[in-house]
Structure formats: C-alpha cells, structure tokens
Amino acid sequence: MTASTRNIIAWILQGLLALAFIASGGRKFMDLPGTVDMFGKLGLPGALAYVVAAGEVLGGIGLLIPRFVRLAAASLIIIMVGAVVMHATKIPGGLAGGLPAIVLLVLLLVVLWLRRPATTVA
C-alpha cells in the first residue's frame, strides 16, 4: 500500500470515527442524568459518565487534528475496551449487542496502525 493510499484511507476512517464519537459523546451530554443513571445501574461511578462523554467528544475532535490523532485513537481505544467489557459482562444482550463497540474498536486500531510513525530503511 502506498503512503498516499494509506493516508486517504486513514483520513476517511478518522472522519467517520470523529463523527461517530462526537455524536455519541454529545448524546451522552444531552441526556446526562440518564447517562449517569445508566452508569450507576452498571455498578460504575456516575462521575465516569462525564469522563466518558467528554473523552468521546474530545477524542472525536482529536481524530481530526493531525498532531493528536494517535493520542486520540489510543484514548478512545481505552474507552471502547471498557464498552466491550461492559457489554460482555453486564449489559443485557452481551457481545451481540456490543457489536458497534467492537467495530469502532477495530477501526480505531486500524487508524492507530495506519498512522504509525514511518520507519526509515538504512
């Protein structure tokens, strides 16, 4: 894969993931009492709802800023691993219901791989 093709694919994925995470975090903020309640029912502290919502919005924005893409992707990967674990262990429907979280996790890993630092061959 050429560097140009890799760059194009990465930008497309980053744009789509940014939209998904900004929308998801935005929905959490729009219904913050419901989000805090949902986290509480899962046995998680309500304050974590604020952290996750902010992390999703900021991570989505970070995916659009070249300097922060790898940090944003890595941070969102942490959030998505948590989401997958919650779906597997506590949320009704199990991993089948968590399929969107798994897809987002895999796409974030692809972005992280596509945006890896270039290596020079000596």
pLDDT tens digits, residue range 33-84? 999 999 999 999 999 999 999 999 999 999 999 999 999 999 999 999 999 9
Any domain includes 118: no
- In whole angstroms, give the CA distance from residue 42 to residue 38: 6
d(CA 60, CA 12): 13
Mean pLDDT across 1-30: 95
Question: Does residue 117 carry a pLDDT above 90?
Answer: no
Specify if 29 maps to a domain: yes
- Is 18 a domain residue? yes
Angle between helix 69-89 and 47-62 (nearest 10)? 140
Number of domains forming the structure of the chain: 1
Q: Quick check: 119 pLDDT over 80?
A: no
The span from the first CA to the last CA of the chain, in angstroms, equals 20
Find the mean pLDDT for residues 106-119.
93
At residue 65, what is the residue type?
Answer: I
- Judge whether 122 lies within some domain: no
Q: Does residue 119 lie within any of the structural domains? A: no
Local confidence band at 111 (pLDDT 50, 70, 90 cut-offs): very high
Task: Using pLDDT thresholds of 50, 70 and 90, give the confidence band for residue 100.
Answer: very high
Does residue 120 have a pLDDT over 80? Answer: no
In a domain, 120, yes or no: no
